[in-house]
Amino acid sequence: MPSSNFRGPTRFAQRAWVTLEEKKIPYQYIEINPYRKEPSFLALNPRGLVPTLGCPTAKGESKPLYESNVICEYLEEAYPAHQPSLLPKDKYEKARMKIWIDFVTSRIIPAFHRFLQHTKNSSYNLEEARKELLDHFKTWTKEMDLEGPFWAGKEISMADIALAPWIMRLWALDHFKEGGLGIPEKGKSGEDEEVWARWREWTDAIQARKSIQETTSERQYYLAIYNRYAEDRAQSELAKAMRAGRDVP
């Protein structure tokens, strides 16, 4: 079987990387500097978006795909013999899961970055940003399978993979933002105690997953990057979009 050619890294790239690892699909990983993209990468994808998957063809050529959720779904459909299956077989449950994958991209990720990129010059206050993110976490958690430990039950799924990279980076909010993330301690959540208990069970399962651990760098390598975000100096397309009040690019 020809291998896919995968280029990253970003938080979005980790989604595709984890999918490749979970399904044990052969691939070649090529790390790039997202701020200084090499000609070979731009030849594959002139738009310069990461992650990019070079999809093998019957003629031995490589066709590019980008957008992390699109790549993950492509891998699910293009390599059906590779297990586990990360999307439900039931058509309704598959459609429902896609709604909550979109919720991650359209709600949780922007809220994460508004919180992280808050400064004294922001048009909103830090408490508003913290509450927005925690409210989205609660909404997400209430849609989980009750028994878990993963979002849809005993096995990891594409819903888990969609949010996992940001879960592995929640420490940045505690490190850079006054008051930190602010999730209530066990026994101090009031009427939300069951919700946050389920959240903790889920995050524990995500953080313990081998595919996620092995595709996440040590914190020291993220500090300089997240410091730029925390001071709202980052120049990634995502940072620029959040600064301008636009949707995730």
At 152-174, the pLDDT tens digits run 999 999 999 999 999 999 999 99
**Fold exhibited by the domain 4-78:** Glutaredoxin (3.40.30)
| pLDDT tens digit sequence for 105-164 | 999 999 999 999 999 999 999 999 999 999 999 999 999 999 999 999 999 999 999 999
Architecture of domain 91-244: Up-down Bundle (1.20)
Span 227-234, mean pLDDT?
Answer: 94
Burial of 30 (0-12, 13-18, 19+ CB in 10 A): middle
The residue ranges of every structural domain in the chain are 4-78, 91-244
What is the tens place of the pLDDT at every residue in 210-225?
999 999 988 888 899 8
248, 55 contact by CB (below 8 A): no
Distance between the two ends of the chain, CA-based, in angstroms?
A: 33
**How far, in Å, CA of 68 to CA of 74, rounded?**
10
What integer pLDDT is reported at residue 6 of this predicted model?
A: 44
- Strand order through the sheet with 4-8: 27-31, 4-8, 52-56, 62-66
Residue 3 has pLDDT above 70, yes or no: no
Average pLDDT, the chain: 90
Q: How many residues does the chain have?
A: 249
Contacts 24+ apart (CB under 8 A), 45-50: 50/7, 50/8, 50/9, 50/10, 50/12, 50/13
Cis? peptide before 9, omega within 30° of 0: yes
Tell me the pLDDT band of 10, cut-offs 50, 70 and 90.
Answer: low
Residue 39: what pLDDT? 84
Closest C-alpha to 15, from 57, 65, 61: 65
CA distance 196 to 198: 5
Per-residue pLDDT for 7 more than 50?
no
> To the nearest whole percent, how much of the chain has pLDDT over 70?
95
